[in-house]
Chains A and B, each alone.
Chain A
Amino acid sequence: MRRPPRDTEESARRITRRSLLAGAGMLGFMAVLGGRMRHMQVDQADAFRLLAEENRINIRLLPPARGLIFDRSGTLIAGNAQNYRVVVVREDAGEIEETMARLRALVPISDENSERAMKEIMRRSPFVPVTVADQLDWADVSEVAVNAPALPGVTPEVGLTRHYPLGSDFAHIVGYVGPVSDYDLSKIEDPEPVLQIPGFQIGKVGLEAKLEDDLRGEAGTKRIEVNAGGRVMRELSRQDGIAGRDVQLTIDHRLQNFTQARLGAESAASVVMDVRTGDLLAMASAPSFDPNKFVRGISVADYAMLTENDHRPLANKTVQGLYPPGSTFKMVTALAAIEAGVVTAGETIYCPGYKELGQRRFHCWKRGGHGWTDLHNSLKGSCDVYYYELAERVGIEKISAMARKLGIGVRHDLPMSAVAEGIAPTKQYKRERHGQEWLVGDSLNASIGQGYVLASPLQLAVMAARLATGEGIKPRLVKSVNGVEQPVETDGPLGLGPTTLQQVRSGMYGVMNERGGTAYGSRIVADDMQLCGKTGTSQVRSVVVRNADVPWEERDHALFVCFAPADNPRIAVSVIVEHGGGGSAVAAPVARDIMLSALHDGGIPPLDAYPSSQRRQQEDLFSSLLIRRPGGATPPSEKA
């Protein structure tokens, strides 16, 4: 190609000019790129660095160990057991169906669970471990470990789960834990993230629920690095959680065990209280159940057995059960009347077997009547007419005020579910609740613990303790939290005249220890352990028929309250046997055995404390009881 030199020069000049422009443009754009880079990497570096960290770092919660629960002597009641489970990682498992089939041959996995697990495995990323079997025992896990070569991708893991070594003895007091349900979450305003941990357990009922905040502890965290696919690459740091606070109860596990065993299969409840401190030494509600079943996830059949049972094993009768206290209420009426000055201990009132009020006749339980009766004999023989008279004189307001002073109709603040307030009725109460005016007949019924009066076994025990001491002692269930002793609380002296109290106690002494006393048959002969008590038989229906002739659910409740030793009270006991019949025949012997056990630190009562004629029979009874031997295996749980 030939080109005139002039053109060549013109071409070169033009190219040079345009090249410079193009080059400047390119460099200019590179400056823009550099500026953009500087803006992102220097000015916005922190923001982007944060985003990068958010990308790669996941924070996982570590469940805290739940606080332990001990009895007053330091014996474990609720602990954390190793929970073995088996997880499967799909990408390591090879033929997943085959592996699952082999696994199921080794450990028990229900069809339902197996199906759920398979679905989960297929749904999640192949590297995510999925739990296929939970709550396994060591033997199952050993099987899996031994057969590991045949089970690729299957790993046994260990976690913590709640365990109640004393089984049914503490089912009602401690309650149980369970996995957090959607319902639980809906109740909580601002759920802690720890509750979202799969399988995390929270208290469902009883102490476990009421002291949840103390027992739960705080979750730890673990920072892990994940890649874009979510696979965990490594653990960056770990901060272990803070374990929940340990709780020590005032309950004596041996006495609790004895009490529970003594109540047996009856629908019954008993509360044992230290009268000086208010410490609850035993609170037994029978029949009981095994709380461990709930932790594991109770089967529908087992649950139905508990809910459909007419003895209501799930109810904690000690604080939730409300019963007409019957004649055990008579001390309240007596104190109200004497304190009001409408009667003296020495005054006698004639009992012909009934009291007429207008057109109505109020019967005494003893058809023939008690004749002339003073305070002492009215308690000893449980004369109803004497109290009808007192009620007429003193009026319901003073009786119910005295009831509340002694702990009936007052909600005792214990960390238990649904603690009942009971009823110490007043005129206002009836007006508001039933829309009717109070009648004198209502006062007469209330004076012997019938009618509107309702009390729980706990309240009856508190009443016995307050009668024994004259102090407004309050029940205490939690001895210490995290080693910090909880205060002994009292409402202070009841302000009852010491002689008045002494006169009532004397009547209660007579009930037990004098011939003709309603519970003379349940006396204790050992000098330093003599009982003061009061029987009660509260009517479930109005017509008087022999208890043996009516169906169980229509029979009378048998009640008994007592304290001992008579001269220097230490222990108060209340017992109620639902539909048990008479208080003296059914409740008093139970209360005596429990009292003797309590006076002997929860051991088997000494036979020489019983009248010699009863020793043989007691010996047979004790040997038949399902008592836990120290360090021994859990006895089979009571038949519900």
Chain B
Amino acid sequence: MSYLEYRVQSVPKGLGKVLYLNWALIVLLTAVASTGFLMLYSVAGGSFRPWAEPQMERFAMGMTAMFIVGMVPIFFWRNVAALAYAISIALLVGVELFGTTGMGATRWIDLGFVRLQPSELTKITLVMLLAAYYDWLDINKVSRPLWVLVPLVLVLIPTALVLKQPDLGTAILLVSGSGIVMFAAGVHWAYFAAVIASGVGLVTAVLQSRGTPWQLLKDYQYRRIDTFLDPDKDPLGAGYHITQSKIALGSGGWTGRGFMQGTQSRLNFLPEKHTDFIFTTLAEEFGFVGGLSLLALYALIIVFCISSAMQNKDRFSALLTIGIAATFFLYFAVNMSMVMGLAPVVGVPLPLVSYGGSAMLVLLAAFGLVQSAHVHRPRGRA
């Protein structure tokens, strides 16, 4: 019995698949999204408008998308991975072009029914393509330099495009997410060690070169680094966001100041309180207990994904699940680091909580892929 045959035979059919969905994951995602609704209701001063209500509608749309994607057999997604990647690259280029013709926000593209952010889509399609690539590649060739170079190019094309927008946050997510997929696929340690070492070296060189004739960055860029390292130096200027964010977070204490009682967010001291900095409102109003609870929900989602991946004998499914889990992880890890002052301010939303349509839809659709991999995993004897 061929691998393909036994897999198809053991897969649940029709609506019966619903029973095989990873329901625990669905419950966790709903819990995280509900936290988001609550916070959006709070930052709007106790109102479903203007944020909570559209966010709930988008969540409903996203869940629908997740079910649809999850019902489709996983081999279909593997087969369209390259196409999906090509479409996202095209959209990224399209944004670049529309952006210059004055469409307003340069990251968006209007598809009529929904305004899509291609950079969000790319995070998932890149992971899909890499998973498909390593599924296709002979596992003995994985660490050969030529076969390492190919995925590197696949990663760098969209990375270069989003950096040009400029969107540093997405670039970091693309590179790191891909790195985790490549790591899981079994690429040799030495490559990662080399990349990390050269990264450290580059940062050192950049910092050391300051004030010397071969200075690598412009002066204003160094000032941004200064602001990140010591936001108190410029509390009303560039350091304002991070300073206010830390104040909000820290003033939450153990149990927070109470629902809708956060002064930092209610009195507008917090910037972007409904998008990138929404975690600070949560931490201010529900304190350490609230913040840790959300972190625990996120951790459980990661754990469920990784355990699903480990149980999956299909290489594409496993790598895809890990890649999506990694992308999801990077979202909230970068966002939380940012609001806690551990990382510079780069525009990365808190997944499923921050107000914003593209990220919500794309992430839920991505979890649809995880569901598809879960439902259609090879069963029985290996």
Residues of A within 8 A of B (CB): 1-3, 5, 7-12, 14-16, 18-23, 26-27, 29-30, 33-34, 36-38, 40-42, 44-45, 47-49, 51-53, 55-56, 225-229, 233
Q: Chain B residue with minimal CB distance to A26?
A: B329
- Contact across chains for A7 and B139 when beta carbons are under 8 A apart: yes
Known: A49-B251, A228-B267. A41 touches B306 (CB 8 A): no
Q: Which residues of A contact B244 (CB under 8 A)?
A: 55
Taking a contact as CB atoms closer than 8 A, the residue among B138, B269, B326 that contacts A26 in the complex is B326
The contact of A47 among B250, B252, B288, by CB within 8 Å, is: B250
- Judge whether B263 and A55 touch: CB under 8 Å: yes
Find out whether the CB atom of B250 lies under 8 angstroms from the CB atom of A49. yes
Shortest B295–chain A CB gap in Å is: 6
Identify A52's interface contact among B251, B268, B322, CB under 8 A. B251
With CB as the reference atom, state the residue of chain A lying closest to B142: A14
- Interface code B241-268, partner A: CB below 8 Å = 1, 0 otherwise? 0001011111111100000000110011
Residue of B nearest to A6 (CB): B139
- Shortest Cβ distance from A23 into chain B, in angstroms? 4
Mind listing 25 A-B residue pairs with CB under 8 Å? Answer: A8-B3, A14-B139, A15-B184, A15-B315, A15-B318, A20-B306, A22-B322, A23-B306, A27-B302, A29-B333, A33-B295, A33-B337, A37-B291, A41-B249, A41-B288, A48-B246, A49-B251, A51-B247, A52-B247, A52-B248, A55-B247, A55-B263, A56-B269, A227-B269, A228-B267
Contact partner of B250 among A1, A12, A41, CB < 8 A?
Answer: A41
- Among residues of A, the one whose C-beta sits closest to the C-beta of B2 is A2
In chain B between 268 and 312, which residues have their CB closer than 8 angstroms to a CB of chain A?
A: 268-269, 283, 287-288, 291-292, 295, 298-299, 302-303, 306, 309-310
Q: How far is the CA of A51 from the CA of B243 in the complex (A)?
A: 10
Residue pair A51, B251 in contact (C-beta under 8 Å) = yes
The answer to whether A40 touches B313, judged by C-beta atoms less than 8 angstroms apart, is no
| CB-based contact A30/B333 at 8 Å | yes
4 closest Cβ contacts across the A-B interface?
A: A48-B250, A52-B251, A227-B267, A45-B253
Enumerate chain A residues within 8 angstroms of B329, measured Cβ to Cβ. 26, 29
A9, A26, A27, A226: which contacts B382 (Cβ < 8 A)?
A9
CB distance from A613 to the nearest CB of B (A): 85
Q: Name the A residues within 8 Å of B303 (CB-CB).
A: 23, 27
A41 touching B252, Cβ below 8 Å: yes
Choose from B139, B269, B287, B313 the contact partner of A41 (Cβ within 8 Å). Answer: B287
Q: Are A14 and B186 in contact (CB under 8 A)?
A: yes
1/0 contact string of B310-336 vs chain A (CB within 8 Å): 100101001100100110010001001
A3 to B75, CA, bound (A): 15
Q: Is A19's CB under 8 angstroms from B184's CB?
A: yes
Tell me what chain B mostly uses at the interface: helix, strand, loop, or mixed: helix
Q: Compute how far the CA of A210 lies from the CA of B249 in the bound complex, rounded to whole angstroms.
A: 53
Which residues of chain A come closer than 8 Å to B283, judged between CB atoms? Answer: 37, 41
- Extra contacts, 9 of them, besides A2-B2, A55-B263 (Cβ < 8 A), are A7-B140, A15-B186, A15-B315, A23-B303, A33-B336, A33-B340, A55-B244, A56-B269, A228-B267
B320 to chain A: closest CB distance in Å? 11
By beta carbon, the residue of chain A nearest B298 is A30
Bound-state Cα–Cα, A227 to B262, Å: 12
In the bound complex, CA of A2 to CA of B252 (Å): 56
**A60, B298: Cα distance in complex, Å:** 45
> Is B83 in the interface zone, CB < 8 Å from A?
no
Nearest chain B CB to A224's CB is how many angstroms away?
A: 12
Contact status A26-B310, CB under 8 Å: no
Does B180 belong to the interface (CB within 8 Å)?
Answer: yes
Q: Known: A37-B288, A225-B267. Is A8-B302 also a contact (CB below 8 A)?
A: no
**Least Cβ–Cβ distance between B192 and chain A, in angstroms:** 11
Q: Which residues of A contact B269 (CB under 8 A)?
A: 52, 55-56, 227-228
With contacts A8-B3, A9-B382, A19-B322 known, is A56 near B267, CB below 8 A? Answer: yes
Q: How far is the CB of B78 from chain A (nearest CB, A)?
A: 8
Q: Does B96 touch A at the CB level, under 8 Å?
A: no
Give Cα distance in the complex from A10 to B186, angstroms: 10
Contacts of B197 in A (CB 8 A): none
A22 touches B306 (CB 8 A): yes
Tell me the bound Cα distance from A55 to B251 in angstroms.
Answer: 12
Minimum Cβ distance to chain A for residue B284 (Å) = 8
B252 contact set on A, CB distance < 8 A: 41, 45
Task: State whether A34 touches B251 (Cβ < 8 A).
Answer: no
B residues less than 8 Å from A233 (CB atoms): 267
Give the Cβ gap from B278 to chain A, nearest Cβ, in Å: 15
Tell me the minimal C-beta distance from B339 to chain A in angstroms. 10
Least distance between A175 CB and chain B CB atoms (Å): 44
CA distance A8 to B302 in the complex (A): 24
Return chain A residues, CB-CB under 8 Å to B302: 23, 26-27, 30
Q: Say which residue of A2, A18, A20, A44 sits within 8 Å of B3 (CB atoms).
A: A2
Q: Is A37 touching B309 in the complex (CB atoms < 8 A)?
A: no
B309 and A44 contacting across the interface, CB-CB below 8 Å: no
CB of B251 within 8 A of CB of A45, answer yes
Asked if residues A22 and B264 are in contact (CB atoms below 8 Å), the reply is no
Would A38 and B267 be within 8 Å (CB), given that A15-B310, A48-B249 are in contact?
no
- Residues of the A chain whose Cβ atoms lie less than 8 Å from the Cβ of B138: 7
Which residues of B have CB within 8 Å of A15?
184-186, 309-310, 315, 318-319, 322
Determine if B136 is an interface residue (Cβ-Cβ < 8 Å): yes
- Nearest to B250 among chain A residues (CB) is A48
B267 x A22 contact (CB < 8 A)? no
